[in-house]
Chain A
Amino acid sequence: MKLDFALTDESYHTATALLFGPDWYRPRDPERGFLAALYVGAGVERRTLILGEIIRPLPGEVQWSSTRGLIMTHRYYSRAIDHLQGTAGAGLINVHSHPGPRVDSSPPLPSPQDLESDRNELGAVFRALSPGRPMAAGIFSAGGGVSVREYTFKRPSTSEEALRFERRRPAIRFADRIRIVGRRLRFQEGDPHRKGLPRPFDPVCTDSSILLWGERGQRLLAEISIAIAGLGGVGGMVAEYLARLGVGRLVLIDYDRLELENFNRSQGATRREVRRRAPKAQVYKRVTTGSATSPGFRALARRASVAEEEGLRQLLDCDLIIGSADDAFARQVLDHASYAHLIPVIDGGTVLLPQPDSMVIAAGKSQVAGAGPGHACLECQGVYTQEEATIARETASWGQYVGANAMPAELGKELRAPSVICTNGLVASLIVLRVLSILLGTTPSAVSGLQRYYIESGELHWGAIKECKPTCRKNSFLGRGDSHFIPTGVDLRWKAVREAESKPLS
């Protein structure tokens, strides 16, 4: 299982200011440090350690000793334990600086003194806190390198084991990668011992895009993992675009099957697949595997709903989530996951309102919105409301995208909303442009917010909301990982499909 260490852009700046702020280098007092809460987010193939609230040291709580190195006092640890005990699921990380040269950005290696003090201090904290809380130590170097190692102590179950506890060495594991999440998404190597080469890319196949973002950008795309929740007209196209751009790994989630009724907008799907009612996730695994340009490309197909716990866990292995399921319930789940697990979400879709007895489109909107740390949430941007999410939890009817309430009553009775492949293509393109902006910084002024295309007038506008409302509570669970209750439940549409498929054929 992979191990990531994730933190918000804001936490990264706070940490570096504490460690390398004004007069950061003092020959007699060369290192600094702090304690912070640590949370865990567990996916299927990846665990993420998430930096929580930083507990700032008071004067005298962090000291330098020429013989023992950096010392965080018992008083500081006690204060941190007091804070963590009242916070569900919170563990502890101690972080310190390595002064070194400012040019070296490789992950710093801990010294034998560091390892010794971790064993003693984190071991003591581990025994003081309730079971299941993560323990880790981190180092930030002056050159920008970061390494984080997780400690696993075996909890004594007998008095004899408790006596031997001090002498037992904990298991240590370095985070493979550091993920810094804000308006942009940044990655750094995390394991100082890593010997493997970065994932390769194909310079011939991706020649035209390397002209835009260089080999560094192409390598980053090859390293990234993106989940697509919903493989309808929009999600299917996004999947193929990303595979062709050189993204290294896609997690494709949809419970629906290919049918004649959705064939007209399922780009890349074949009539043969319609005949055997292939699951959409499998169809797009085939499409993306056949069109991927990254030599190490991997696509995982999962028949699930992201509104349910099982589907959600698949998303937590990814660095970015594309939400293209027309459902307020799923959108609410993704919105929560993006803040709790520090995984940005880009959501998109279209609504089309026909004019009865004519071919005129009475009204239509295609829209794309980004959410997650550094962005306003989907709810504050008006992409869904709690009311709509509640209704979606209550009914097995097909969802609508923007302006669901504006649907005429007679259309609301229809099982499916109108949809055409050209608007799907528009939304897919806007989503992928947003992906590139967040990952590579290709369009810095188009990285955040809601973008809406009004079909009847042909105008593209940005939404006015750039920040969450003052009453929004998403920040209260920012980076809380599995400690935050994500409002998953039973997706009634998926349940109905499961029940229909489990019935024996008569």
Chain B
Amino acid sequence: MSDSPTVPGPLGAALCYLREHRQIDPRVDAISDNFAYVWISDLQKSGNGQAPGGWIRLPTAFPFGNPHGLVTIEPLMRKDGALVTDAHNPGHDMCKPVIDLGGAHYYSWTWKDCPPIQDPKDILGVVQWYERTIRNG
């Protein structure tokens, strides 16, 4: 995390919590306006043999703002091998901040109808929600 962009206090606290409780090193690869692109190295995919990992878009205001979208290197696949089509935007502008790192596929999932986020510790549930959404395709 030494060369990562600086993130505001509560988001930084959330990433520390994730580091402790998921035993990973979440890396802030870019901040674009009000959103940070956080690389989660063990983000589980459901597709056959797909390598884990992806950038979750977290608001710099987290936990006072909701996550919005996911950027991946490869297109996501469901368990049955079919492509995840829900809100899939290949080559979308939202990939630009991490395009040099391979970000090519944007999934514009919003936190609508999900439980309220109130605490930096809720980050754990957010990552699990991303994995669940990928699984459900």
A473 x B118 contact (CB < 8 A): yes
A394 x B68 contact (CB < 8 A): yes
Selected contact of A489 from candidates B9, B61, B116, CB within 8 Å: B61
Q: A387-B111, A471-B118, A495-B33 are in contact. Are A485 and B65 (CB under 8 A)?
A: no
| Residue in chain B with minimal CB distance to A488 | B61
Question: What are 30 A-to-B residue pairs whose CB atoms are below 8 Å?
Answer: A336-B64, A386-B65, A386-B66, A386-B117, A387-B110, A387-B111, A387-B112, A389-B65, A390-B59, A390-B68, A393-B61, A393-B65, A394-B34, A394-B35, A394-B68, A471-B116, A471-B118, A473-B118, A485-B8, A485-B10, A485-B64, A487-B61, A487-B64, A487-B65, A489-B34, A489-B59, A489-B60, A489-B61, A490-B34, A492-B34
Residues of B with C-beta under 8 A to A495: 33
9 new A-B contacts, CB < 8 A, other than A485-B64, A490-B34, A492-B33, are A386-B65, A387-B111, A389-B61, A389-B64, A394-B68, A471-B118, A473-B119, A485-B9, A488-B61
Contacts of A117-146 to chain B: CB distance below 8 A: none
A332 interface contact, C-beta 8 A: yes
Contacts of B85-118 to chain A: CB distance below 8 A: 110-112, 116-118
| Residue in chain B with minimal CB distance to A492 | B33
Q: How large is the interface on B (under 10, 10 to 19, 20 to 34, 35 or more residues)?
A: 20 to 34
- What distance in Å separates the Cβ of B115 from its nearest Cβ neighbour in chain A? 10
- What distance in Å separates the Cβ of B88 from its nearest Cβ neighbour in chain A? 18
B34 x A386 contact (CB < 8 A): no
Q: How large is the interface on A (under 10, 10 to 19, 20 to 34, 35 or more residues)?
A: 10 to 19
Selected contact of B66 from candidates A336, A387, A489, CB within 8 Å: A387
| Residue in chain A with minimal CB distance to B117 | A386
Query: Lowest 5 A-B CB distances belong to which pairs?
Result: A487-B61, A487-B64, A489-B34, A393-B34, A390-B66
Q: Is the interface of B mostly helix, strand, loop or mixed?
A: loop
Contacts of B49-99 to chain A: CB distance below 8 A: 59-61, 64-66, 68
Residues of B with C-beta under 8 A to A489: 33-34, 59-61
Return the CB mask of A476-502 against B: 1 if under 8 Å, else 0: 000000000101111010010000000
Contacts of B31-56 to chain A: CB distance below 8 A: 33-35
* C-alpha spacing A471/B65, complex, angstroms: 16
Return the CB mask of A330-359 against B: 1 if under 8 Å, else 0: 001000100000000000000000000000
- What distance in Å separates the Cβ of B127 from its nearest Cβ neighbour in chain A? 17
Contacts of A397-437 to chain B: CB distance below 8 A: none
* C-alpha spacing A495/B61, complex, angstroms: 18
Q: A489-B34, A495-B33 are in contact. Are A390 and B65 (CB under 8 A)?
A: yes
- What distance in Å separates the Cβ of B95 from its nearest Cβ neighbour in chain A? 15
Contacts of A448-474 to chain B: CB distance below 8 A: 471, 473
Residues of A with C-beta under 8 A to B119: 473
Residues of A with C-beta under 8 A to B112: 387
- What distance in Å separates the Cβ of A285 from its nearest Cβ neighbour in chain B? 30
| Residue in chain A with minimal CB distance to B119 | A473
* C-alpha spacing A127/B61, complex, angstroms: 33
Residues of B with C-beta under 8 A to A336: 64
Residues of B with C-beta under 8 A to A390: 59, 65-66, 68, 110-111
Residues of B with C-beta under 8 A to A387: 66, 110-112
Residues of A with C-beta under 8 A to B9: 485
* C-alpha spacing A487/B118, complex, angstroms: 13
- What distance in Å separates the Cβ of B17 from its nearest Cβ neighbour in chain A? 15
* C-alpha spacing A121/B18, complex, angstroms: 41
Selected contact of A386 from candidates B8, B60, B64, CB within 8 Å: B64
- Most B CB contacts (10 A, CB to CB) among A393, A488, A490 go to A393
B118 x A332 contact (CB < 8 A): no
- What distance in Å separates the Cβ of B107 from its nearest Cβ neighbour in chain A? 15
- What distance in Å separates the Cβ of B106 from its nearest Cβ neighbour in chain A? 13
Residues of A with C-beta under 8 A to B118: 471, 473
* C-alpha spacing A226/B61, complex, angstroms: 27
* C-alpha spacing A390/B108, complex, angstroms: 13
Q: A386-B116, A390-B59, A393-B34 are in contact. Are A332 and B68 (CB under 8 A)?
A: no
Residues of B with C-beta under 8 A to A394: 34-35, 68
Residues of B with C-beta under 8 A to A386: 64-66, 116-117
- Most A CB contacts (10 A, CB to CB) among B10, B64, B117 go to B64
Residues of B with C-beta under 8 A to A389: 61, 64-65
* C-alpha spacing A12/B59, complex, angstroms: 37
